Amino acid sequence: MPKSEPVINPFETAKRQVDIVADIIGLDEATREELKHPKREISVYFPVRMDNNSYRVFTGYRVQYNMARGPCKGGIRYHPQVTLDEVRALAAWMTWKCAVVGIPYGGAKGGVICDPKHMSKGELERLTRRYTSEISFMLGPEIDIPAPDVYTDSQTMAWIMDTYSMGKGYSVPGVVTGKPISLGGSEGRAEATGRGCAYVVREAAKDIGLRVKGGTVAVQGFGNAGSVTANILHDEQGAKIVAVSDSRGGIYKADGLNPHEVEEHKTKTGSVVGFPGAKDISNEEVLEMKADILIPAALENQITSKNADKIQARLIGEAANGPTVPEADKVLFEKKITVLPDILANAGGVTVSYFEWAQDIQGYFWPLAEVNERLEQVMVRSYADVHKVATERKVHNRTAAYVLAIQRVVDAIRIRGIYP
């Protein structure tokens, strides 16, 4: 985010997005207000023993936003800048994300304020287990199913699953998704977010007459989602990856980067910066460079009113959550830049999480080819649904996705009624 840009409250962004759609579909005031508030949330403060035998008190959150369509689903992130409003916003976006791809879940999100880069594996395990014990009454396969997010992974999910299971007295693999395969994880889950993004990029490119094969791609954020999207666009669709970045900066190579080699370099050095044969550039330059396709795969609020008019890509696939603020959407729409919004573009992760949960409950697991085939079906269908609404209502894809998702949640709320 540009240094001069004021801090943007992500939950205010999420609420503005609800208001935009509420006006379009004529939502009554009571339902509008319900959609702008979480169902329940908890803040926990808990001690963790560090490796030097001292104790530190950490702050954690879990927000369950809406459960009208089913149990809550959402990741847990470990980051020094986690805030309650950020978690609320992410939980809201998870609600709409599940609805837009037709998954029978509500949305949730969790977070712990910590810096995993400066914690040992033992410290992270003790933090995870204590955090899980603090929120375990809110969790369960029929209630709330966490998953990995920023700086959490399959090992984190294994610790959560084990801690929850110890409290129950038996193994409950369906309490989390994104687990190791050996504990009931699904084939294809680790690549699902990036793979799903690549599928919708391919579909949208057809509609705007853009050839992905030979087209140029810039990726801001070369973590799991960004790197997998880059790999699939490069390996399976023939795109040319010209720029990637991470938290330390970016690299550019006009004749194309091999994303697998960049991954190896990052694993060895901790960053993509300094990759042999590439020019070091800033994250802002990655966003603003001339490329056919831009994949924002970092954190929220990266494309704002300050830099939206500098974006040169024809197609944006949001692999990150909330990378574009509402004011920027208007600018991009006027520039005829096609944006695939986060609640559609990165829904591959929650889709295969749903597959994992279903497999855990059945005790029957699918091969990778079947997982990917089902994922492709969901993403292609969901893109078509969003594109249809956008075309019929003459709005951009984000508004169309929100219209589709919020209407589905509203329908569930109205059909269920209000208890008691």
* Amino acid letter, residue 116: P
Q: Which domains does the chain have, with CATH numbers?
A: 41-183 (3.40.50.10860), 192-345 (3.40.50.720)
What is the C-alpha to C-alpha distance for residues 27 and 35, in angstroms, rounded to an integer? 10
- Count the Cβ atoms, other than its own, within 10 Å of residue 200: 26
**Taking 50 as the threshold, does the pLDDT of residue 119 lie above it?**
yes
pTM above 0.75, yes or no: yes
User: How many CA atoms within 13 Å lie on the side-chain side of 240?
Assistant: 13
Q: How confident is the model at residue 326 (pLDDT cuts 50, 70, 90)?
A: confident
What is the C-alpha to C-alpha distance for residues 188 and 349, in angstroms, rounded to an integer? 9
User: Which position has the token pair 């969003």?
Assistant: 386
Question: With 0-12 CB in 10 A as exposed, 13-18 as middle and 19+ as buried, what is 127?
Answer: buried
Report CA-CA distances (Å) from 139 to 62, 136, 179, 186, 247.
Answer: 10, 5, 16, 20, 32
**Taking 50 as the threshold, does the pLDDT of residue 130 lie above it?**
yes
How much is the pLDDT for 6?
63
Q: How confident is the model at residue 147 (pLDDT cuts 50, 70, 90)?
A: very high
**Taking 60 as the threshold, does the pLDDT of residue 117 lie above it?**
yes
User: Which position has the token pair 């269920």?
Assistant: 416
Residues whose CB falls within 8 Å of the CB of residue 155, separated by 6 or more in sequence, listed in order = 180
**Taking 90 as the threshold, does the pLDDT of residue 274 lie above it?**
yes
How much is the pLDDT for 293?
97
Give the mean pLDDT of 71-91.
96
In this structure, are residues 127 and 112 in contact, taking their beta carbons and an 8 Å threshold? yes
**Taking 60 as the threshold, does the pLDDT of residue 330 lie above it?**
yes
Task: Give the chain's mean pLDDT.
Answer: 95
Q: pLDDT tens for residues 347-403?
A: 999 999 999 999 999 999 999 999 999 999 999 999 999 999 999 999 999 999 999
Known catalytic residue at 15: no
Selected catalytic residue, list 109, 179, 253, 266:
109
Q: How confident is the model at residue 414 (pLDDT cuts 50, 70, 90)?
A: very high
User: Which position has the token pair 């984000």?
Assistant: 398
Q: pLDDT tens for residues 171-228?
A: 999 999 999 999 999 999 999 999 999 999 999 999 999 999 999 999 999 988 999 9
Give the mean pLDDT of 322-347.
92
User: DSSP assignment of 328-339, as one string?
Assistant: HHHHHHHTT-EE
How much is the pLDDT for 188?
96
**Residue 83, phi then psi, degrees to nearest 5:** -130, 160
How much is the pLDDT for 2?
44
How much is the pLDDT for 121?
98
**Taking 50 as the threshold, does the pLDDT of residue 1 lie above it?**
no
**Taking 60 as the threshold, does the pLDDT of residue 279 lie above it?**
yes
Residue, of 283 and 378, whose pLDDT is higher:
378
Q: How confident is the model at residue 98 (pLDDT cuts 50, 70, 90)?
A: very high
